[in-house]
Structure formats: C-alpha cells, structure tokens
Amino acid sequence: MLSLLRYKRKFPYLLQIMAQTRRSSSLPDEWPAKRARKAKRNNGTPHAKAKTGKYIDPVNSPWYVGAHVSVTGGVENAIMNAASIAADAFALFLKSPRKWTSPALTAQNIEDFKARMEEYHYEPRYVLPHGSYLINLGNPDPKKREKSYGCFVDDLHRCEQLGLEVYNFHVSAVRLRARITPVRGNINSSRCPGSSVGTGTTAESIALIAECLNRAHKTTTSVMTVLENMAGTGYVIGSQFSHLADIIAAVEDKSRVGVCLDTCHMFAAGYDIRTKKGWEDTVTKFDQQIGLSYLRAMHLNDSKTELASNRDRHETIGMGFIGLESFYHILTDPRVQGIPLILETPEPETYATEIEVLNALSTYTELDDKKKKALLTSIRKSVKRAGPPYRSNTRKRKGRKKPQQGEKKNDEDEEEYCDH
C-alpha cells in the first residue's frame, strides 16, 4: 500500500482507477468534497431550483436540453438523476436494452415515477424512452421479427403505464442483397444492432417495419413511435432520410410516428452539419424528404470518427470531428425548440457541464473565439475530473469467443448490438 501511495505522482490515475473498480476501501478518501457535492445533488432538491444553471434559467428556455440517465434501482430514479444534472429533458431505458425479457414494472415503480414527474416538474413530452438494442422490425426471418415485435410492444405498454407520450427506437438492421448507398463515402462492414440476420432488399425491410408499426399502433392507444436515423454501419436501414420517409409513408396513423435525429449518426452517414450552411442544407433536405412536423427529438452527440465514416461512435460535445460550432447552430435554431435534445455522450460524469455549455450556446448571438475557448476549457476540465475515459465498446464481453473464419455465428451473435 505504501508503494502505491509513493508512486501516486508517477501514476496519477492509479488510485482513481482502483476506486472506480471498487477496490479502494482501504485507501484514503482522496475526493471527499466531490462525493459530498454528489450526495447533495441527489438529495431530492426540487427540480425548479436544481435545474437553474450558471448560464441560463432553463425554466424560460425554449430548448429542452438533457441526457440519457441511469435507471439503476428502478425507473423512478431516472427523474432524480435528471434533476441532479440540471436537465430539462431526459431519456431512459424502460428495461434492460440487452435482454429480450425483463421483469414487469411494479405498481410501486409506476406510482413513484408519476409522483416524481410531478414533484420535479417534468412533462411527459420531454421524456424520451429508448428502445432495446436488439429490436429489428425489418428482419426478414418471421420468427426473429416476431420476437423483436414482442419486445417492442412490451416497451410501448410500459410507456403507457408510466404516462409517457413518445418512444424512440433504432429502425432496423438487415443483411441486404445489395448494400445501401451512403450519402457520401463507402459503407464499411462493421456490425450494428441486429445485423447479419437474413437476406432482403431495402424496400422489403421498410415494408416489414411499417407493418410492425401499424400492428403496434392498433395494439396500443397513444404512444408515438419515434424512428431514429442511423449511421449507415454495415447494412442498416435508416441512414438516409429517404428510408425514414418511406417508412412514414407506409404508416397508417401518421399522428403516431415521428423522427429523432442523432447528430453523430447524421455526420457518420455523410450529412455535413459542421457549418451554418451545412446545417441549413441538412434541415432543408429533412424538410423536403420527411417534413419538419415529424421532428420530435434529437440526440446531441459529437463524433469520434470523420464525416461519412458510417461508424456510430459518440464523443463528448466539442471534443470530436463535428465540433462545438455545429451545436451552436443547432441551439440557436428555433426549429428545434420545444422538443427533447438528449445527450448520449460517453462520459455521464460530464453531462452537467455539457448541459450548461449547450444552454450557454443558446443564449449567444454569436460564438466568438473567446467564448468558444472558455466553453471548451470547461468541457475539458470536466472530462479530466471524470478520470480515465469510460468507453463501453472497449470492454471485453465475458463468455463470448470471437468466431473463427468460416465458423457459423449463433443467434446471439447475429443479433448483436452496437455500443456508442
């Protein structure tokens, strides 16, 4: 132990790594102030006060910025987690996104969720549940598609139980007879949610997705199903606006379908949103092909990869290839007011800072170099405080061997998902 402390300066992250892996019970408490602040934030502060940030009072802001928060201990805890980072909106999983079945919501879960929604002054339209990574409504295999449909409808019923109005999900991923042509660049062979699961055409898969949506709308009563655009990885449906437009065209009840635009996915699919002109051109294309009336939410993420990479790799705001200026254009665009704008960046410990930065951007009439430098410095400091970067896609999954060349993959491998 003395050796570890002696080499603390030489290895600055050593103690922090050990603390994060729950092996630090015998080490001195190096961060009491940080833990005290965290405990204070989670002490049930009324939301109207908790979300008053350094840069802007979110109560008066027409841009509803938030993040995807944890539901550890029950879905009702998502609300307090959102309030603790001063979020005006939030996303959550209603069950495990990596399992086909999960325990049903209890009466206590539902009662506590609704009570806390009222206590912390959150409106249902600014809560964006996220679907399972396993769902693939465009799967040509009837049995697997029905399995996805069952998981999908179960989520919609959970939304109705909690009084939520919208539900966001990844459209589809299938193996096509011909690869999808990206907006720009070439699609690589990386795998994404539900890929390598059959053979079909784009049109066939789009028809299957719309058919499932029509069935789900008749089975449920009110929840709006929100299609998320994709990055174009492998053989994914939804990387092009035209795919989403074709699905919506085949949906019978247009009042129950919408779109969630992910900035990282757009950029990876070839839509260059880095400049004011690029953002305007992209919104114009969206309006022409789909219609702005269908825009119900956005995911705000920077990108770890370059334009048209077709790779879904999220990065902290301002730290990736998209850059801070793009988010300034978005947060000053009145067309994205009044909808949930959700962070899905890799570092949950930086969410509060990223929300402050995005709220600050919405107040600026121009983003000069001085303001940009100050905001980026704030983000970098927050990332540094968070410690060694957490990247879920870098962790090895236990109990799964990489198949050898020519070896057939099992069903679980075929229904793999993509980590952000």
- Tens digit of each residue's pLDDT (9 = 90 or more) over 167-182: 999 987 544 444 444 4
Q: Are residues 130 and 219 in the same domain?
A: yes
Confidence of residue 218 (pLDDT cuts 50, 70, 90): very high
* Closest to 195 in 3D by CA, of 241, 250, 130, 140: 140
Is 413 a domain residue?
no
Is 414 a domain residue?
no
Q: Are residues 22 and 42 in the same domain?
A: no
Instruction: Look up 160 and say whether it is catalytic.
Output: no
Q: Are residues 24 and 144 in the same domain?
A: no
Q: What backbone phi and psi angles, to 5 degrees, belong to 70? A: -75, 150
Q: Write down the pLDDT at residue 298.
A: 98
Instruction: Look up 344 and say whether it is catalytic.
Output: yes
Q: Are residues 24 and 141 in the same domain?
A: no
Instruction: Look up 68 and say whether it is catalytic.
Output: no
Which residues constitute the domain of residue 294?
Answer: 37-387
Distances (CA, A) of 77 to 161, 267, 319: 16, 33, 29
Report the first-to-last Cα separation within the chain, whole angstroms: 36
CATH number at residue 160: 3.20.20.150
Q: Which of 344, 347, 415, 416 is catalytic?
A: 344
Give the number of domains in the chain.
2
Instruction: Look up 243 and say whether it is catalytic.
Output: no
Calculate the dihedral angle through the C-alpha atoms of 210, 266, 86, 128, rounding to the nearest 10 degrees: 0
Q: Are residues 23 and 87 in the same domain?
A: no
Q: Are residues 69 and 180 in the same domain?
A: yes
Instruction: Look up 170 and say whether it is catalytic.
Output: yes
Instruction: Look up 191 and say whether it is catalytic.
Output: no
Q: Are residues 193 and 166 in the same domain?
A: yes
Q: Are residues 21 and 128 in the same domain?
A: no
Q: Are residues 5 and 148 in the same domain?
A: no
Residue 310, amino acid: N
Average pLDDT, the chain: 81
Q: Which of 68, 158, 170, 329 is catalytic?
A: 170
- Tens digit of each residue's pLDDT (9 = 90 or more) over 307-335: 999 999 999 999 999 999 999 999 999 99
CB-based contact 408:379 (threshold 8 Å): no
What is the average per-residue pLDDT within 258-279?
A: 98
Is 408 a domain residue?
no
Is 418 a domain residue?
no
Angle at 97 between CA 383 and CA 110, to 5 degrees: 100
CB-based contact 173:194 (threshold 8 Å): yes
- pTM score over 0.95: no
Q: Are residues 57 and 189 in the same domain?
A: yes
Burial of 283 (0-12, 13-18, 19+ CB in 10 A): buried
The count of other CB atoms within 10 Å of the CB of residue 76 is: 20
Is 89 a domain residue?
yes
Instruction: Look up 253 and say whether it is catalytic.
Output: no
